């Protein structure tokens, strides 16, 4: 019998947040809710939140406010707000006062208990549960959406690094690695339902397994996942530079399904700013890691994260960031202006940079990276690349789209029966963000 109840889910933030939202939505599905893309017809609305930047938080607060009119129109509508924004110390009471129309508040540590929260809300009870610490068993069997071509798989939770600008350790807790057999079994189940590409997720995947005895690290996990039959590709995110070992780079170089793409956030090219950020590596150490990648995986693409306008950043510090971007030739960079996050060390640092200076630096940074991205992709013209066909192009549904092993987006002509398969595509045109090619 077709489900009558509908759930509409909205997600903000990183891939970890997207994966959490998927888990909650699947739990709602088990409770009798079918997915809907129409907010107007929803019986349950889930918003999984992010608090990394103030701009994201403001957008989320605006959306939560908008839901009040939907609640007035349909008093039976249940509204659930979950994730990092809710988990922030002291945030819950402030949010509850601001949005009394919300039925369920859940943090990051008790998402797997969402079924019981939903049952209580359906009985008319307002529910607000924020676990201050994760419970071991709560993360042993996360739910994944079945039947997708690509899937995100958590391999660990939390972070121990305490970068001075980052709220994540305060809302995600300390690092906890999932058991290898749980991860591998989850991926096998996904593959059996049609998945062909997985992205292994962690705040710092390079520190996976540090608590295991006998020793078993992230490179060991990659090696074992690489052996799973019928899986075509393996990606991972995010790698902290300080923990990027030679063993890991060698494992990617030797792997069959391990994609030659490293997302390696540098955040700044200045040693002084890196020290203030508490990144625990120097500019030269980072460059040495890139050299090792280029030596062992010469065709690898590198992407990064960069923050401009960190407290105390001088023009010289900023120029050093531009210099390292030109030196390394990233295929893509995710660039941000520094945003104060209450509860982090950087929020109270002296020498905060004026907004107009941050905006100007961000524009210069993006201009440099746009050129680097264009140069990188133009260097691909005339060459053939393996592409996993993902589906119709979002901008031109008559064409197909897919990604190279280096995570570059390619648009090309082809039949829809190719979706889910690997094809070789010759690149004919290149822009800063997209490639155009033809199947060979």
Instruction: Give me the residue spans of the domains in the chain.
Output: 5-133, 144-259, 384-439
| Segment 182-206 mean pLDDT | 94
Question: What architecture does CATH give domain 5-133?
Answer: 3-Layer(aba) Sandwich (3.40)
Of 274, 276, 209, 199, nearest in space to 242 by CA: 274
* Phi, psi dihedrals of residue 227, rounded to the nearest 5°: -90, -5
Instruction: Among 47-56, 295-304, 330-339, 425-434, name the one with the lowest average pLDDT.
Output: 47-56
Of 83, 64, 74, nearest in space to 23 by CA: 83
**Strands, sheet with 233-237, edge to edge from the N-terminal-most edge strand:** 150-154, 197-201, 233-237
Q: Give the chain's radius of gyration (CA, Å).
A: 22
Instruction: Among 102-116, 144-158, 220-234, 285-299, name the one with the lowest average pLDDT.
Output: 144-158
| Segment 6-15 mean pLDDT | 92
* pTM for this entry: 0.89
CATH 2.40.50.140 is right for the domain spanning 384-439: yes
How far is it, in rounded angstroms, from Cα 41 to Cα 27? 19
Strand 197-201 and strand 156-157: the pairing is: unpaired
Res. 136 pLDDT band, cuts 50 70 90: low
Residue with tokens 């590409």: 197
Of 109, 85, 82, 84, nearest in space to 9 by CA: 82
206 pLDDT above the threshold of 90: yes
- CATH domain 144-259 topology: Transcription Regulator spoIIAA (3.30.750)
How close are the terminal C-alpha atoms of the chain, in Å?
45
List helix spans (H) across 133-279. 168-172, 180-192, 218-225, 246-254, 271-277
| Segment 59-66 mean pLDDT | 94
Residue with tokens 């008559």: 398
Model pLDDT, residue 132: 81
138 pLDDT above the threshold of 50: no
435 Ramachandran zone, left/alpha/beta (phi>0; psi -120 to 50): beta
56 pLDDT above the threshold of 90: no
Nearby residues of 58 by Cβ (< 8 Å), 6 or more positions away: none
Model pLDDT, residue 372: 96
Both structure tokens of 323: 């210099």
How far is it, in rounded angstroms, from Cα 141 to Cα 132? 20
- Contact call for residues 390 and 423 (beta carbons, < 8 A): no
- Kindly state the percentage of the chain with pLDDT values over 90: 81
| For residue 238, cis peptide bond before it (omega within 30 degrees of 0) | yes
3 pLDDT above the threshold of 70: no
Q: Number of C-alpha atoms within 13 angstroms, CB side, residue 301?
A: 23
141 pLDDT above the threshold of 90: no
Sign of the C-alpha dihedral computed for residues 162, 167, 173 and 176 taken in this order: negative
Residue with tokens 């990064």: 304
Of 244, 388, 220, 364, nearest in space to 306 by CA: 364
**Helix and strand tally (H, E) in the chain?**
13, 19
pLDDT tens-digit readout, 369-414: 999 999 999 999 999 999 999 999 988 889 999 999 999 999 999 9
| Segment 93-98 mean pLDDT | 92
Both structure tokens of 37: 């893309």
């Amino acid at each position: 019998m077709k489900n009558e109840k509908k759930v509409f889910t909205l997600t903000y933030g990183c891939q970890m947040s997207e994966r959490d939202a998927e888990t909650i939505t699947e739990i709602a599905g088990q409770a009798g809710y079918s997915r809907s893309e129409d907010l107007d017809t929803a019986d349950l609305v889930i918003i999984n939140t992010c608090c990394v930047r103030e701009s994201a938080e403001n957008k989320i607060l605006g959306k939560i406010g908008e839901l009040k009119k939907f609640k007035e129109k349909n008093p039976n509508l249940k509204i659930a707000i979950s994730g990092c924004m809710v988990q922030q110390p002291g945030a819950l009471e402030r949010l509850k006062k601001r949005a009394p129309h919300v039925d369920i508040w859940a943090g990051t540590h008790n998402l797997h208990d969402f079924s019981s929260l939903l049952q209580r809300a359906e009985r008319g009870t307002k529910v607000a549960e924020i676990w201050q610490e994760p419970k071991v068993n709560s993360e042993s069997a996360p739910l994944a959406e079945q039947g997708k071509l690509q899937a995100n798989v958590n391999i660990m939770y939390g972070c121990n690094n305490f970068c001075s600008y980052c709220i994540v350790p305060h809302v995600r807790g300390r690092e906890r690695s999932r058991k290898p057999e749980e991860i591998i079994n989850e991926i096998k189940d996904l593959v059996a339902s049609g998945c062909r590409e997985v992205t292994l997720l962690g705040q710092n995947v390079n520190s996976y397994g540090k608590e295991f005895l006998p020793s078993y690290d992230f490179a060991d996990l990659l090696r074992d996942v690489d052996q799973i039959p019928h899986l075509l590709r393996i990606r991972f995110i995010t790698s902290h530079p300080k923990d990027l070992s030679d063993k890991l780079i060698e494992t990617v170089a030797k792997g069959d399904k391990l994609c030659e793409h490293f997302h390696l956030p540098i955040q700044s090219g200045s040693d002084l700013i890196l020290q203030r950020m508490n990144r625990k590596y120097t500019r030269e150490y980072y460059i040495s890691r890139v050299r090792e990648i280029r030596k062992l995986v010469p065709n690898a693409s590198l992407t990064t994260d960069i923050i401009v306008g960190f407290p105390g950043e001088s023009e010289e510090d900023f120029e050093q960031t531009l210099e390292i971007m030109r030196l390394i030739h990233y295929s893509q960079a995710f660039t941000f202006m520094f945003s104060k996050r209450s509860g982090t060390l950087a929020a109270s640092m002296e020498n905060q940079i004026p907004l107009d200076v941050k905006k100007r630096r961000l524009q210069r940074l993006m201009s440099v990276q746009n050129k680097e991205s264009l140069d990188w992709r133009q260097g691909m013209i005339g060459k053939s690349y393996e592409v996993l066909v993902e589906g119709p192009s979002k901008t031109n549904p008559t064409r197909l789209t897919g990604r190279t092993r280096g995570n570059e987006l390619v648009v090309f002509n082809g039949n829809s029966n190719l979706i889910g398969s690997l094809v070789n595509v010759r690149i004919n045109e290149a822009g800063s963000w997209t490639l155009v090619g033809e199947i060979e």
